[in-house]
């Protein structure tokens, strides 16, 4: 029996149909893959750069969490917003120390793990003193989980005046949500130790 493609309609207007078992990359190629290949779907969900870096131990192994984040779109009653990622991120514990050290020693501060129409996943390290600019998220909703260290998040109105709204301290394990209805923000590390955070957006941003 052939699985019927599932049709997803996003609140943002994005509509996409695909089989929940066939991985995105194989679906794009328009062919059905053997069952054994379907089980290994998380590796093809990853960007080629991230898959290679994880295989070489240059990134923490986040294949399972990326797969689980993607699977949330197929849960009954899924909100189809970034809020549905919360349970998966709550379950995410310590990163493997070898991959974490390698990532922290990489001068490139971010790694895009997943780039998909529904989902974008980015791992970022924040050396002491590094702050992002004030920015919005192009209509996407995003969830951030702090995996190491402590981050500071400053929020601003999402308009041309960008008035300061408030500041939060994001301790290890903290999870926060933002979208453009809530405001713009800037994130950074004002502490002496490096920090690492996982950022998950839907729809997937470019
Ligand atoms: Fe952001």
Q: What is the pLDDT of residues 95-120, one digit of tens each?
A: 999 999 999 999 999 999 999 999 99
Judge whether 55 lies within some domain: no
Name the domain count of the chain. Answer: 1
Residue 147 lies in a domain: yes
Going from the Cα of 123 to the center of ligand 1, the distance in angstroms, rounded, reads 12
Distance of CA 187 from the midpoint of ligand 1 (Å): 7
In a domain, 12, yes or no: no
- CB-based contacts of 80: which residues, under 8 Å, 6+ apart? 8, 9, 10, 11, 73, 202
Look at residue 24 and tell me if it is in a domain.
no
Q: Ligand 1 mean position to 51 CA, how many Å? A: 24
What's the domain range around 145?
62-75+93-206
Residue 100 included in any domain: yes
Q: Is residue 176 part of a domain?
A: yes
- Alpha-carbon distance of 164 to 110, in angstroms, equals 26
pLDDT > 70 in the chain, percent: 78
Nearest-angstrom CA–CA distance, 183 and 170: 17
* Residue 131 lies inside a defined structural domain of this protein: yes
Q: How far is the CA of 196 from the centre of ligand 1 (A)?
A: 14
Q: What is the CATH number of the domain that holds 137?
A: 2.60.120.10
Question: How far apart are the CA of 185 and the centre of ligand 1, in A?
Answer: 6
**Residue 36 pLDDT:** 35
| Omega prior to 203 cis, within 30 of 0 | yes
Whole-number pLDDT of residue 12:
45
Between 35-44, 62-71, 80-89, 183-192, the lowest mean confidence (pLDDT) is in 35-44
| 10-25 per-position pLDDT tens digit | 554 444 433 333 333 3
Q: What is the pLDDT of residue 9?
A: 52
pLDDT in tens, 52-96: 999 999 999 999 999 999 999 999 889 899 999 999 999 999 899
Query: How much is the pLDDT for 171?
Result: 98
Q: How far is the CA of 143 from the centre of ligand 1 (A)?
A: 9
On the question of pLDDT at 38 being above 50, the answer is no
**Residue 7 placed within a domain:** no
Ligand 1 centroid to 66 CA: how many Å?
A: 19
């Amino acid at each position: 029996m052939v699985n019927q493609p599932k049709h997803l309609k996003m609140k943002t207007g994005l509509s996409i149909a695909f089989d929940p078992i066939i991985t995105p990359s194989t679906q794009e190629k328009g062919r059905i893959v053997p069952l054994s290949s379907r089980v290994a779907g998380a590796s093809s969900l990853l960007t080629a750069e991230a898959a290679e870096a994880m295989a070489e131990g240059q990134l923490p192994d986040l294949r399972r969490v990326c797969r689980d984040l993607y699977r949330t779109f197929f849960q009954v009653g899924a909100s189809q917003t970034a809020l549905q990622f919360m349970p998966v991120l709550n379950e995410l514990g310590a990163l493997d120390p070898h991959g974490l050290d390698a990532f922290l020693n990489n001068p490139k501060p971010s790694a895009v793990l997943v780039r998909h129409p529904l989902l974008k996943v980015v791992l970022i390290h924040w050396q002491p003193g590094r702050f992002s600019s004030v920015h919005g998220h192009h209509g996407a909703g995003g969830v951030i989980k702090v995996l190491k260290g402590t981050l500071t998040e400053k929020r601003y109105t999402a308009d041309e005046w960008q008035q300061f709204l408030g500041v939060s301290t994001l301790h290890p394990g903290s999870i926060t949500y933002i979208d453009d209805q809530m405001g713009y923000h800037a994130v950074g590390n004002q502490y002496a130790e490096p920090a690492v955070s996982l950022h998950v957006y839907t729809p997937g941003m470019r």
